[in-house]
Chains A and B, each alone.
Chain A
């Protein structure tokens, strides 16, 4: 129990806990936000009321999700100051500004138009409403861009140098477009989208299994499925690109991801480890199951490597990640889920092509629907394990090769952090439980088909009794109330 007296460890635990639980909600806000844009677009284009009720139903889950996302997200911004003051002071010139950009570009846009999107159906005309839905989705996704820019810069600091313990920026745009930025943004963007699509597909599958509104939910199931055809394989490719950049810029992290203790020289073949028991003390894997030549094919599509793969022993123990086992298994979990979801997509598409997903047949695909239901949470697991690889693998640095984690934490009494960590743990777990309870309640109640279609006011019958008195109201909808 040494950690209870160590502010650095406690602050790390607090950040890891709040970040990994918080991450679950923005994932859906960004991904489902895009889905809502598609659904509302279909409603405006086809005037099929099913799409309108879809927009209302998913927006209800969206609102629940958004509230918890904001609640759990606010502590993230303040923690940089409360728990990581030396880091914040040293990197404020760039990192601080980017956090500010996120608030001004993304949060305000999202927050201001969310109200109109959720409650404004009767108050603004359809074009403004649709614009609001689009702006909410843009706002949410701009958040991904800025946060991933900030984090990528921590992985591959660029655009300036450390002078007297502070990062001085020479070229802002070089710092923003740091080596990790573009591929990381793409990988995260696809991750939120893919996870959201499998959540939508999984919830729709539940209704189909229960034979409730089967035709209605077959629509959302197929929209989600159609989108995963492009997204799931693309994400595997984006993941590969991300691993490549780790190989080039953070070889110590790659070595931890592969539990590779010894360097493999160029010109040799390298096996890819499937399962292993890494041991930090003896600096080797106690036990290992590996695929011969696998690593060569993964990294270079060749049997023999043209560049060496450095092993962990190349670095002094204080200069390399310590939790090798965690990084190793987190990486395999993420990759495994990526392939599993793509496989599920491919299998389901085959069913679709065979006509087994038509409205009459879809309820008979019981086991397929079960698989989709169980696949719904997998995206979240992949996202959190991915972040573990990214940030635990970055250790012992906060700013890669520049600022150490031990030098980044605030000098505050460990008791303070222990109390706040305990409070965060209890609160976040309770929130997670309450969120799932109310979320499943909304799902069990199902969509409401008695909602008013915008523009059809029941207080104004279309035909008045005395035709002579009828004066049509040509003012815009807002003015008619």
Chain B
């Protein structure tokens, strides 16, 4: 029983990390494309951008809903403390989602598309910004009492570190969005996004360097952890591997490859994610509450493995199937009854 009480929260930490990663990767390019749409020069281009997402944005976003539901059920304390502590960034993200989601159908129907173009672009930006602040604040640490209840202030989430994380996350989304568009579009549009991908690769790199350097300097808890054996070796490898991946990414962009840049970017996301997960683990509210303290009853965790965990392969299958059905380049600016 003792081992089970350790094992089950770890399994759920893993499952939630998987959901969050799938979300960041899939909705990452979604939001990135949305932010990039603000720079589109013509209605036609913007139409193609939105068509490239029309059938998948909703499923992509569902991974976050799934992650939210999973967190609620598996770590109720973390769900309630983190969400109420980050009221403003979460609400910002939620409104971003609203503006973005309605833009798809409303823009398609509207004759004057200006409002919905803004709604789509700014909504995507707001959602990414809210997520960046939330991520930054969780990494920085949330003020809680011994029972794990929030005792900090409303604006605790706002600091130069969280601004740095938010900006870097937005760059990362723009990067993966650009490489997705390189894959899915042709001609001039593709050329444009070869360029935006390159710019975003550099800005992401700069942001990542700042975060990597500032984390051990400013966070005592992270410093202790980072310089522990054997983790120090892993944390030494991650930045090196990151630089290698960015170099690979940039050279694939220079060679005008179509699919490789997207794949290198995904690997970059995987690497970052492993790094973050190792910094956070075993905490769920860094650095005060561990996954063991915040977890639901073991029986709940078991039931959830049966009702949610076993469905993961099925969900992955029908997501993948959808991508297969809609494979190929996007050339039309209308979805639905084009």
In the complex, what's the smallest C-beta–C-beta distance from A230 to chain B, in angstroms? Answer: 32
A162, CB-defined interface residue at 8 Å: no
Question: Does A100 contact B304, Cβ atoms closer than 8 Å?
Answer: yes
Name the contact of A86 in the complex, choosing from B56, B58, B80 (C-beta under 8 A).
Answer: B80
A400, CB-defined interface residue at 8 Å: no
Contacts of A102 in B (CB 8 A): 69
Question: Does A82 contact B65, Cβ atoms closer than 8 Å?
Answer: no
Question: Does A81 contact B66, Cβ atoms closer than 8 Å?
Answer: no
Which residue of the partner chain A has the closest CB to B327? A123
Which of A103, A169, A412, A413: most chain B CB closer than 10 A? Answer: A103
Number of A-B contacts (CB under 8 A): 231
Contacts of B83 in A (CB 8 A): 78, 80-82, 85
In the complex, what's the smallest C-beta–C-beta distance from A411 to chain B, in angstroms? Answer: 8
A-B contact pairs, 10 of them (CB 8 A): A66-B58, A91-B76, A96-B76, A97-B303, A100-B70, A105-B311, A109-B318, A111-B59, A119-B336, A123-B326
Contacts of A82 in B (CB 8 A): 83-84, 87, 90-91
State whether A88 and B65 are in contact (beta carbons under 8 Å apart), knowing that A74-B94, A108-B318, A124-B325 are contacts in the complex: no
A226, CB-defined interface residue at 8 Å: no
B154, CB-defined interface residue at 8 Å: yes
Which residue of the partner chain B has the closest CB to A63? B105
Question: Does B326 contact A112, Cβ atoms closer than 8 Å?
Answer: no
Taking A60-B337, A85-B80 as known contacts, 20 extra A-B pairs with beta carbons closer than 8 A to each other, sorted by chain A number, are A67-B101, A67-B102, A74-B97, A81-B80, A92-B75, A93-B73, A93-B297, A95-B72, A103-B65, A107-B62, A107-B65, A108-B66, A108-B315, A108-B318, A112-B59, A114-B58, A115-B54, A115-B322, A172-B299, A416-B88
Question: Does A123 contact B296, Cβ atoms closer than 8 Å?
Answer: no
Name the contact of A416 in the complex, choosing from B72, B81, B106, B154 (C-beta under 8 A).
Answer: B154
Q: Interface extent on A, as a size class? A: 35 or more
Question: Does A71 contact B154, Cβ atoms closer than 8 Å?
Answer: no
With the chains together, A116 CA to B58 CA distance in Å? 12
Which residue of the partner chain B has the closest CB to A452? B337
B283, CB-defined interface residue at 8 Å: no
Contact with B along A294-329 (1 / 0, CB 8 A): 000000000000000000000000000000000000
Question: Does A113 contact B308, Cβ atoms closer than 8 Å?
Answer: no
Name the contact of A72 in the complex, choosing from B55, B81, B98 (C-beta under 8 A).
Answer: B98
Interface of A is mostly: helix
In the complex, what's the smallest C-beta–C-beta distance from B173 to chain A, in angstroms? Answer: 18
Contacts of B55 in A (CB 8 A): 114-116, 118-119
Question: Does A412 contact B87, Cβ atoms closer than 8 Å?
Answer: yes
State whether A99 and B73 are in contact (beta carbons under 8 Å apart), knowing that A64-B109, A83-B84, A169-B297 are contacts in the complex: yes
With the chains together, A86 CA to B148 CA distance in Å? 11
Question: Does B58 contact A88, Cβ atoms closer than 8 Å?
Answer: no
Contacts of A93 in B (CB 8 A): 73, 76, 296-297, 300
Name the contact of A412 in the complex, choosing from B66, B84, B321, B326 (C-beta under 8 A).
Answer: B84
Contacts of A172 in B (CB 8 A): 299-300, 303
Question: Does B337 contact A74, Cβ atoms closer than 8 Å?
Answer: no
Contacts of A99 in B (CB 8 A): 68-69, 72-73
With the chains together, A115 CA to B300 CA distance in Å? 33
Contact with A along B199-237 (1 / 0, CB 8 A): 000000000000000000000000000000000000000
Contact with B along A111-138 (1 / 0, CB 8 A): 1111110111001100000000000000
In the complex, what's the smallest C-beta–C-beta distance from A295 to chain B, in angstroms? Answer: 41
Question: Does B80 contact A92, Cβ atoms closer than 8 Å?
Answer: yes
Which residue of the partner chain A has the closest CB to B301? A97
Near A by CB (< 8 A), chain B positions 48-72 give 54-56, 58-59, 61-62, 65-66, 68-72
Question: Does A434 contact B102, Cβ atoms closer than 8 Å?
Answer: yes
Question: Does A78 contact B304, Cβ atoms closer than 8 Å?
Answer: no
In the complex, what's the smallest C-beta–C-beta distance from A226 to chain B, in angstroms? Answer: 28
Near A by CB (< 8 A), chain B positions 299-321 give 299-300, 303-304, 307-308, 311, 315, 318-319, 321
Contacts of A413 in B (CB 8 A): 154
Residues of A within 8 A of B (CB): 56, 60, 63-64, 66-68, 70-72, 74-75, 77-78, 80-86, 88-105, 107-109, 111-116, 118-120, 123-124, 168-169, 172, 410-413, 416, 420, 423, 427, 431, 434, 438, 441-442, 448, 451, 478
Name the contact of B73 in the complex, choosing from A97, A410, A431 (C-beta under 8 A).
Answer: A97
Contacts of A94 in B (CB 8 A): 300
Which residue of the partner chain B has the closest CB to A94? B300
In the complex, what's the smallest C-beta–C-beta distance from A327 to chain B, in angstroms? Answer: 29
Question: Does A116 contact B325, Cβ atoms closer than 8 Å?
Answer: yes
With the chains together, A63 CA to B105 CA distance in Å? 7
Contacts of A64 in B (CB 8 A): 105-106, 109
In the complex, what's the smallest C-beta–C-beta distance from B206 to chain A, in angstroms? Answer: 32
Question: Does B98 contact A431, Cβ atoms closer than 8 Å?
Answer: yes
In the complex, what's the smallest C-beta–C-beta distance from A219 to chain B, in angstroms? Answer: 20
Near A by CB (< 8 A), chain B positions 83-125 give 83-84, 87-88, 90-91, 94-95, 97-102, 104-106, 109-110
Contacts of B72 in A (CB 8 A): 77, 80-81, 88, 92, 95-97, 99-100
In the complex, what's the smallest C-beta–C-beta distance from A80 to chain B, in angstroms? Answer: 7
Which residue of the partner chain B has the closest CB to A441? B109
Contacts of B319 in A (CB 8 A): 108, 112
Name the contact of B325 in the complex, choosing from A120, A431, A438 (C-beta under 8 A).
Answer: A120
State whether A71 and B336 are in contact (beta carbons under 8 Å apart), knowing that A78-B94, A97-B303, A108-B62 are contacts in the complex: no
Contacts of B337 in A (CB 8 A): 56, 60, 448, 451
Which residue of the partner chain A has the closest CB to B66? A103
Contacts of A83 in B (CB 8 A): 84
Contacts of A77 in B (CB 8 A): 65, 68-69, 72
B79, CB-defined interface residue at 8 Å: yes
Question: Does A74 contact B326, Cβ atoms closer than 8 Å?
Answer: no
What 4 pairs across the A-B complex have the smallest Cβ distances?
Answer: A92-B76, A81-B83, A115-B55, A100-B69
Which residue of the partner chain B has the closest CB to A92? B76
